[in-house]
Structure 1
Amino acid sequence: MSSDIRPVFPEEQALIAHIIGKPAIFDDKSVWASDNRYYVDGKSFSVPVSRFSNCDATAIASKLQSLGIIPNTGTSDVIAFEKALIAYRDGIQYQKFHQHVQTFIAANQLRLSFIEDEAFSFVKQSAESFPRENLVVSFSGGKDSTVTADLVIRALSDPGILHIFGNTTLEFPLTIQYAARFHNEYPYTPFKNAINKDQNFYEVCKDIGPPARMMRWCCSMFKTGPITRILNNRFLQEKILTFYGIRKCESVSRSKYNRIEDNAESVKIQKQTVASPIFFWKDIDIWLYLLGRNVDFNDAYRLGYDRVGCWCCPNNNARAQFLSRIYMSEQSELWRQFLIDFSKSIGKPDAEVYVDSGKWKARQGGNGVASSKDVKITSTNCTAEENAKIYQLNQAVNDEFINMFIPFGLISKEMGRKLINETIILDKRSRMPILSIQPFSQADYEYAVKIKTLTVKDPDKLHRMVKYQIRKFNACRKCLKCESLCAHGAISITANSYRINPDKCKQCKMCVTAKYLDGGCLMNKYLKTKE
């Protein structure tokens, strides 16, 4: 069997049996799966992706209701849904499953002891360099973070490690239920919910378009950013160690990580060093630990989901989308209709095919999106002054705009010429003026600003970084990426403002360096268009 194999729970067995037209085929069988290939008592068969696409999700849901897996009250009733799962689990349907699981655990007891002992040693060794109060567990409600949380608490014999649950507002309802259950099971474990209450997912999608495989702005806005806020409030400028459920085999990008990672280009939240106790584990190891140590886990896995991130994630495969049409029919139809309406708005000729074929997931850039104009920097050279440029803005120069220049140095309005409302930026070390900023009237622009470099060796380099702040001012959607990027907690973003604290800013310039933030603003990636 493949090392990325997983057990197939009776709820999913019932679903697959109906899909292939053999309702009782798995009643006394041992069933495992790897992607769309299923292993029944060691013999394999596959369920093509096309089968999922062609199935009648409504009819399948009706059959599952008759089995008691889905409540007749409707899939939106999460409590009734969970009660139905528990009743099904307690019934005769699980007897054979438990027998097969016990055989699996007994056959792999040495493997379980080895991976557990090795992970314990890694956790203890990683934690030695940090105060116990500076340890954090990143909790997503998925199987990997569940195992990581259990390993850390047991290895350190300390239930007092802070757990942060990144509630993206796009979680499976069963994930929210499981997070609450985990919190109740570990009453002495500090448990914080990180949630972005300033943004609405659908409203942002209307503005900049839905996330796609290569453009998942939602991760920064609804997960990393809110977690950063909790860390900044709790730890100020202290360094922390965060235990993540990252595994090398999950993706090409994760295979390039280190088991302990603090590289600024790899770590999404600069305040933290990331440690991954299960970095080398396979899927089968995860399930061996969960089942072998009788650890509670998210019930969504029992329904056949092999990952339980955001339910509408563009990285979800056709199988996961099919499951959501059954178990989250109302949300799925609402999302599908939104995607169709959006596709029409950007000029797709056959919007339904574009959406149902999954082509929307490959969308790149802001073509057809009205807000794409906000990331385009329009400027002209000032003919009257050397090293001066006039930049177009989409709103008037204000205090928030001037505040954007704190990463360059000290703001001095006193040194500027008052008649033209000039502001001077001083180099923090030499106190020499490096930038002149003044609101400007330009016939072609409704709003404009003239920025001139002063006494600097490389004015072009400085203007390039200035452009990044211009783009932020014009295009900022409060995605919270800048908050996560700042290791000093100097940047704070609310629904109405973007502010840099001059007392915290160290002028490291990471927020205006393409190496860490291409184009100076995350929106540049999501909204730029091909000329």
Structure 2
Amino acid sequence: MYSYTYDEYTGGIVLNSSPTIFSKEPRPVYAYELNMLGFDAYWEYDNQNDIPYMWAEANQYIYRGKIVARLKGGNINQKPEIILATDENDNVIYPEQPGHKLKPIDIDTMISKNHKLLQIIETSTVKKIVSVYEKYREKLDIFHVAFSGGKDSAVLLDLVKKSLPKKSFVVIFGDTGMECPDTYAVVEKTKRICERDEVPFYVSKSHFKPDESWKIFGPPARVLRWCCSVHKSTPQTLKLREITGKNDYIGMDFVGVRKHESVARSEYEYENFSKKQKGQYSFNAILDWTSAEIWLYIYEHKLPINGAYIKGNSRAGCLFCPMSGGKSDYVQYHSYPTETDKYIGFVKELNGRYQDDPKALETYISNGGWNARKNGRDLNIENKKYIEKVTSNKLIISITDPNSNWKEWIKPLGVLPFDFDIKEKQNGYDVYVDSNLQKKYPTEIKRFKQLFHKSAYCVGCKVCETNCRQGAISFVNGINIDKCIHCQQCYEIDDGCLLYHSLRTSNGGNTRMKNGSINSFASHAPKNDWIRDFFEQGNDFWELPTLGPNQINMFKRFLRDSGLIDEKGGTTYLYDISKIIGWENSSLWGVILANLAYNPQINWYIENFDIGMYYSRENAVELLMSFDVSKTDSGAIVGAYKRFCETPLGYSLNFGSVIDNGRQIESLCRTKCIINDARVVLYSLFRFAEECNNYREFTLSWLFNEDVDRNGVSPNKIYGLDREEIKSFLLGLTSKYPDFINATFTNDLEKISLSEKKSSDVLKLFEEV
């Protein structure tokens, strides 16, 4: 809520009355962390962990208002390098004069200085909680606090206890079985406090142990976070059904999410429905709080502190989480080596690529390659239960050793609008259906395929069961579906089945990848001055001996895939457009990116770099190598990203950015593009439709559905736009260019219809400057 400064006198934080837009998320630093990282070689301090000595913001350490050190690098096996702060003369800035001990933060005085503003923050938050409770208390079956054992949920729970009557809500700790030991300790302490305060406290837990689930699903990854569904949200829903006695209960979940934690969470709202849990309300009561305010509240009210923070962990989540990395992995591993080793062992055991190369396997783990997987290709888990192919206009699905009965899973689909045949074989069956139906019934065929994903792979993780609010699904003695109303919510899961989604392998690869190597530019990605000279000189550019033969070939590949030159090397109509609107114009580069999205290398960036997430150079190389790209080519592809970001793709369109140290790239990030021109979205839509077998009618959901096997790259994927932004663009385009597009969103009906015009026709609209 409020901005803050560091107090030289107390060593603490002081809030001020001006609102904050961005928080660097400070956290207290104790002796345990200083010792672990090696600061005891430079500074003197008492080895006590009752009171912190300083603060950290990301990798910077701040003592009484001065930045005194920062960390560089680090991974699970390598200690981060300590870089002491220096003045303009390169003299080390010591936190205290040599020989003087560090002074702990004066907690009491710090709290005294912040008391008034903390009271305002607390009072306004309590009012919000009371207000939402009064709004829904007669409408909902249950109110509950999602307690994780971390600092945010500790503050949230204390605030809800102050706001609501006794026994008007319950607390649920979602025990994943993968929490750090200090979390279990603080949970037990919190449970005793809740019992004293007459607050019902429950623990939800999956019927799978992590030792089982990791070996069934494979290690979780950044984009394969089956662990959250299997070990957290599903058990929590089942526990709430048990408490309320209702399968279709409607509850309010008080959640400790804060917008300053990440780019994604900065878009969250206080109140929402069905975004966290289907059919449930959520209220993010401390959404606007910064970590500075969280810690001040904890110290003022003497709330239990999870020991993970004292040990230097910036978060108190699961051990060896795929969302972690770098220095955080080092701190967590050295805080809990025995517990973390178990999960590292699972990664090693389940990896099928580096079993004969221990050194490569260690690198795969330390550089974060393990958490970058997007499918089951490199796992040694049997995953050939489902195979599909198209032969002679027949889609043939082959199922081997299915885990469950397809006759149960077909019930939610109701009556299908097409016929199919099933032929039994010794260890399974083959399914036959007309392949041409995929265009006529895209949604129904997608569900039909998912039916057999479920049949082949279902292990009873119960995610489908919790999605069904009718209680029609049970897993007693196998899958049983009874009294189904065909809402198909049990199919609203990645690929219809989490296990299939985690273990799936390619059915032949994407055509974009077949069009050439991911390393499309062979270490000769375009430089910005080449691009500038090309736009200034046009066809005359090739007459000047400025580039070598290989550079010319690669630059022509870039310009051709951009749509700026044709197959013969002459400039195109898109080049002519640049003369009208300017070669650095973001609209021009939005169109160029829509074309480049079908170049294997640019497409790889788009498909594999999540918006707003920083990937270390090592992590990006590992990810590329998981696509069978050589280490040399992987390095070239990572290096090329910097060049692309130095063109108008980066500085005009905001496609991405890199951080380097002057010698090499340290990290890469793909960022949300700046799209101020709806014509860019229109052009990318027509390109998308043309690549999707010239589809002209589809839904917004289909546009956003990444599970559909298609060659087109949707504009939301290319530019990082969310559903509401795309919807707004579509409505505006419908109004302004009805000859090109008609999009309707009424009465739950969403339909996008494109005319028979071509993407080249859309380019003519850019003559309207």
| TM-score, normalised via structure 1 length | 0.75
Q: Does residue 326 in structure 1 map to residue 334 in structure 2?
A: yes
In structure 2, do the counterparts of structure 1 residues 130 and 392 end up closer, same or farther at CA, with 3 Å as the change threshold?
Answer: farther
Q: Does residue 143 in structure 1 map to residue 151 in structure 2?
A: yes
Q: Match for residue 409 of structure 2?
A: 404
Name the CA distance, whole Å, in 2 between partners of 1:483 and 1:31: 48
Q: Match for residue 222 of structure 2?
A: 213
In structure 2, what residue type is equivalent to 1:163? V
In structure 2, do the counterparts of structure 1 residues 231 and 437 end up closer, same or farther at CA, with 3 Å as the change threshold?
Answer: farther
How far is 1:527 from its partner? Answer: 2.5
Contact kept in structure 2, 1:3 and 1:284, CA below 8 Å:
no
Corresponding pairs, count: 450
Name the CA distance, whole Å, in 2 between partners of 1:29 and 1:168: 29
Paired residue secondary structure (1:364): coil
Q: Does residue 491 in structure 1 map to residue 473 in structure 2?
A: yes
In structure 2, do the counterparts of structure 1 residues 310 and 471 end up closer, same or farther at CA, with 3 Å as the change threshold?
Answer: same
How far is 1:330 from its partner? Answer: 1.6
Unpaired segments ≥5 residues, structure 1? 58-94, 384-388, 410-424, 426-432
Name the CA distance, whole Å, in 2 between partners of 1:478 and 1:186: 33
In structure 1, what residue type is equivalent to 2:58? D
Paired residue secondary structure (1:367): coil
Paired residue secondary structure (1:371): coil
Q: Match for residue 249 of structure 2?
A: 238
Q: Which has the bigger relative contact order, CA under 8 A and spacing at least 6? A: 1
Q: Does residue 392 in structure 1 map to residue 398 in structure 2?
A: yes
**CA offsets 1:125-156 (integer angstroms, 9 cap, x no match):** 11121347511111111111111111111111
1:360-439, aligned counterparts within 5 Å?
360-369=370-379, 370-378=381-389, 391-395=397-401, 400-409=405-414, 439=422
Q: Match for residue 130 of structure 1?
A: 137
Q: Does residue 117 in structure 1 map to residue 140 in structure 2?
A: no
Paired residue secondary structure (2:178): coil
Select which of 485, 494, 507 maps to 2:486: 507
Q: Does residue 343 in structure 1 map to residue 351 in structure 2?
A: yes
Select which of 421, 425, 448 maps to 1:466: 448
Q: Match for residue 258 of structure 1?
A: 269
Paired residue secondary structure (2:106): helix
In structure 1, what residue type is equivalent to 2:409? M
| TM-score, normalised via structure 2 length | 0.53
In structure 1, what residue type is equivalent to 2:113? A
1:293-308, aligned counterparts within 5 Å?
293-308=301-316
In structure 2, do the counterparts of structure 1 residues 190 and 408 end up closer, same or farther at CA, with 3 Å as the change threshold?
Answer: same
How far is 1:354 from its partner? Answer: 1.5
Paired residue secondary structure (2:191): helix
Q: Match for residue 34 of structure 1?
A: 57
Select which of 449, 455, 458 maps to 1:476: 458
Name the CA distance, whole Å, in 1 between partners of 2:161 and 2:384: 49
How far is 1:284 from its partner? Answer: 0.6
Contact kept in structure 1, 2:150 and 2:316, CA below 8 Å:
yes
Name the CA distance, whole Å, in 2 between partners of 1:234 and 1:4: 36
Contact kept in structure 2, 1:232 and 1:489, CA below 8 Å:
no
Name the CA distance, whole Å, in 2 between partners of 1:511 and 1:492: 12
Q: Does residue 526 in structure 1 map to residue 502 in structure 2?
A: yes
Contact kept in structure 2, 1:260 and 1:274, CA below 8 Å:
yes
In structure 1, what residue type is equivalent to 2:283? A
Paired residue secondary structure (2:137): coil
In structure 2, do the counterparts of structure 1 residues 488 and 102 end up closer, same or farther at CA, with 3 Å as the change threshold?
Answer: farther
How far is 1:318 from its partner? Answer: 2.8
How far is 1:164 from its partner? Answer: 0.9
Name the CA distance, whole Å, in 2 between partners of 1:464 and 1:381: 20
In structure 2, what residue type is equivalent to 1:447? Y
Structure with greater Cα Rg:
2
Name the CA distance, whole Å, in 1 between partners of 2:356 and 2:462: 31
Name the CA distance, whole Å, in 1 between partners of 2:383 and 2:499: 9
How far is 1:29 from its partner? Answer: 8.5
Name the CA distance, whole Å, in 1 between partners of 2:494 and 2:392: 24
Select which of 38, 41, 44 maps to 2:67: 44
How far is 1:232 from its partner? Answer: 2.5
Name the CA distance, whole Å, in 1 between partners of 2:311 and 2:396: 58
Paired residue secondary structure (1:192): strand
In structure 2, what residue type is equivalent to 1:510? Q
Contact kept in structure 2, 1:130 and 1:240, CA below 8 Å:
no
How far is 1:115 from its partner? Answer: 1.4
In structure 2, do the counterparts of structure 1 residues 190 and 6 end up closer, same or farther at CA, with 3 Å as the change threshold?
Answer: same
Q: Match for residue 199 of structure 2?
A: 189
Contact kept in structure 1, 2:353 and 2:378, CA below 8 Å:
yes
Contact kept in structure 2, 1:379 and 1:392, CA below 8 Å:
no
Contact kept in structure 2, 1:175 and 1:300, CA below 8 Å:
yes
How far is 1:375 from its partner? Answer: 5.0
How far is 1:347 from its partner? Answer: 6.3
Contact kept in structure 1, 2:76 and 2:329, CA below 8 Å:
no
How far is 1:442 from its partner? Answer: 5.8
Contact kept in structure 1, 2:79 and 2:330, CA below 8 Å:
no
Identity across the alignment (%) = 27
Q: Does residue 440 in structure 1 map to residue 423 in structure 2?
A: yes
Contact kept in structure 2, 1:493 and 1:499, CA below 8 Å:
yes
Name the CA distance, whole Å, in 2 between partners of 1:364 and 1:208: 12
Unpaired segments ≥5 residues, structure 2? 6-22, 81-101, 510-769
How far is 1:309 from its partner? Answer: 0.7
